[in-house]
């Protein structure tokens, strides 16, 4: 009788990378979703860009052309023919495409965020949550023993030590993450002033992607939370999630006060304990609407009258226990000083960032704020 010495071993296997199989439709659809976001929902322009890319990179074959792709979009319900009141016809995307774009934004932004084994989220009011997330992390000193996942911990022990020398150590233990069932009401403010497309840099498309990804995260993972989205230029107005792919920059100044007023009005109606405002902007506040309906504008520099109105709104939000997190897509020293004073008035937070990493910052901050009870 021979003893079977085969045991499972841990290690790395190196082999040539093989890309996952994608059908011709799926390959083109990934590109199409990016293009339709950049063109603000303009189907004809997106297809024109797709044809140009096809000429340069040979995306299609004789067996599957761009025209075949368009026909499949129709069959699968991603586009439809629409006739406007003037009798002009055209092709538009459907709500199915809008959902697909939001899911892609979520995968591209939130899917790249690596979860820390020990957790980076600090809280002023630590406690044990009561809502299971389905995610596991390493056991830390102080974790309640009833939160230890027995199944996952035993599996780790078997992998780490083997059956012949089975033992369970502290390093094998994992616990399931939990959250408090407190709801979070968030208002996301997006600057659509003209500077969001100035200097040859498209800043509005990344902002749209972040908003779509955040909307998809909240509606799928935290359905009890609420997300309201508003845009601000000379004035401020609320938009629906379905409107995001079509959002465009206008010939506007930046009325930050109007955006904050609308954001606080929306949050006053919420019964949730936790409320917060995320503001994405790249420029200085340069506009106010006066009581008589006229606009007070100053694009030359930081106007003290406009700045003081912004500080007053920040203080008002603080009194309502509404923290404001500002994501500043600019790093001009004088603008950073304004944001610093604005943040101090609200006792909120500010991030000075370029377009790269904007989504990760917003998602990390959303998760952090949700894991603690904002008072």
- The tens digit of pLDDT for each residue in 183-210 reads 899 999 999 999 888 777 888 998 899 8
Amino acid 185: pLDDT: 93
Instruction: Please indicate whether residue 117 or residue 325 has the higher confidence score (pLDDT).
Output: 325
Coil, helix or strand at residue 259: helix
Q: What is the DSSP pairing of strand 236-239 with strand 295-297?
A: unpaired
Is the per-residue pLDDT at 135 higher than 70? Answer: no
Residues in the chain, total? 375
∠ CA 55-61-67, nearest 5°, is 80
Amino acid 115: pLDDT: 41
Radius of gyration of the chain (CA): 25
- The tens digit of pLDDT for each residue in 352-361 reads 877 777 888 8
Amino acid 134: pLDDT: 57
Which H or E element spans position 365?
helix 358-370
Instruction: Please indicate whether residue 331 or residue 211 has the higher confidence score (pLDDT).
Output: 211
- The tens digit of pLDDT for each residue in 146-192 reads 777 877 878 877 777 777 777 777 777 888 766 555 689 999 999 99
- The tens digit of pLDDT for each residue in 53-90 reads 999 999 999 999 999 999 999 999 999 999 877 778 89
Q: What is the DSSP pairing of strand 184-191 with strand 174-179?
A: unpaired
Phi, psi at 280, each rounded to 5°:
-105, 120
d(CA 91, CA 300) in angstroms, rounded, equals 43
d(CA 230, CA 280) in angstroms, rounded, equals 11
Of residues 341, 322, 319, 338, the one with CA closest to residue 330: 338
123: confidence class by pLDDT, cuts 50, 70, 90: very low
- The tens digit of pLDDT for each residue in 20-39 reads 788 999 999 999 999 999 99
Coil, helix or strand at residue 191: strand
Coil, helix or strand at residue 275: strand
Average pLDDT over residues 315-340: 90
- The tens digit of pLDDT for each residue in 213-270 reads 999 988 988 888 999 999 999 999 999 999 999 999 999 999 999 999 999 999 999 9
Amino acid 195: pLDDT: 85
Q: What is the DSSP pairing of strand 274-281 with strand 184-191?
A: parallel
d(CA 84, CA 282) in angstroms, rounded, equals 35
Amino acid 112: pLDDT: 56
Amino acid 114: pLDDT: 42
d(CA 7, CA 305) in angstroms, rounded, equals 75
Lowest mean pLDDT among 8-12, 288-292, 341-345, 353-357: 8-12
Amino acid 122: pLDDT: 30
Is the per-residue pLDDT at 118 higher than 50? Answer: no
Instruction: Please indicate whether residue 372 or residue 5 has the higher confidence score (pLDDT).
Output: 372
Coil, helix or strand at residue 323: coil
Amino acid 127: pLDDT: 34
d(CA 285, CA 298) in angstroms, rounded, equals 9
Could you tell me the CA-to-CA distances from 87 to 73, 81, 82, 91, 363 in Å, in that order?
Answer: 23, 12, 10, 13, 44
Give percent above pLDDT 70 in the chain.
Answer: 85
On average, the pLDDT of the chain sits at 84
Residue whose tokens read 């009401």: 185
Tell me which DSSP letter residue 197 carries.
G
129: confidence class by pLDDT, cuts 50, 70, 90: very low
Amino acid 2: pLDDT: 53
d(CA 204, CA 38) in angstroms, rounded, equals 9
121: confidence class by pLDDT, cuts 50, 70, 90: very low
∠ CA 357-363-368, nearest 5°, is 125
Could you tell me the CA-to-CA distances from 139 to 124, 125, 126, 153, 321 in Å, in that order?
Answer: 20, 19, 16, 10, 33
Lowest mean pLDDT among 10-14, 31-35, 297-301, 323-327: 10-14
């Amino acid at each position: 009788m021979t003893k079977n010495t085969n045991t499972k071993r841990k290690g790395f296997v190196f082999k040539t990378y093989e890309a996952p199989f994608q059908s011709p439709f799926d390959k083109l659809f990934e590109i199409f979703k990016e293009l339709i976001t950049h063109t603000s929902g303009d189907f004809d322009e997106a297809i024109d860009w797709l044809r140009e890319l096809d000429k340069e990179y040979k995306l299609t074959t004789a067996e599957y052309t761009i025209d075949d792709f368009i026909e499949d979009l129709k069959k699968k319900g991603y586009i439809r023919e629409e006739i406007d009141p003037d009798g002009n016809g055209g092709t538009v995307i459907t709500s199915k495409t809008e959902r697909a774009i939001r899911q892609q934004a979520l995968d591209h932004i939130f899917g790249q965020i690596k979860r820390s084994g020990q957790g980076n989220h600090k809280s002023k009011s630590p406690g044990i949550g009561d809502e299971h997330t389905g995610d596991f992390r390493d056991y830390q000193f102080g974790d309640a023993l009833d939160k230890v996942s027995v199944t996952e911990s035993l599996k780790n022990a078997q992998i780490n030590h083997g059956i012949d020398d089975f033992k369970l150590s502290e390093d094998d233990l994992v616990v399931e993450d939990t959250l408090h069932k407190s709801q979070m009401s968030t208002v996301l403010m997006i600057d659509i002033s003209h500077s969001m497309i100035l200097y040859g840099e498209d800043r509005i498309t990344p902002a749209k992607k972040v908003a779509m990804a955040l909307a998809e995260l909240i509606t799928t993972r935290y359905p009890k939370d609420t997300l309201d989205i508003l845009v601000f230029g000379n004035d401020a107005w609320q938009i629906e999630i379905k409107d995001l792919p079509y959002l465009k920059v206008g010939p506007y100044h930046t009325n930050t006060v109007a955006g904050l007023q609308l954001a606080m009005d929306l949050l006053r109606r919420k019964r949730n304990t936790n409320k917060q405002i995320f503001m994405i902007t790249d420029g200085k506040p340069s506009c106010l609407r006066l009581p008589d309906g006229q606009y007070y504008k100053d694009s030359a520099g930081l106007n003290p009258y406009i700045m003081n109105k912004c500080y007053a709104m920040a203080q008002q939000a603080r009194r309502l226990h509404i923290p404001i997190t500002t994501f500043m897509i600019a790093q001009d020293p004088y603008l950073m000083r304004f944001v610093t004073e604005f943040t101090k008035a609200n006792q909120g937070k500010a991030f000075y960032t370029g377009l790269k990493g904007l989504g990760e910052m917003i998602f990390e901050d959303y998760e952090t704020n949700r894991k603690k009870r904002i008072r």
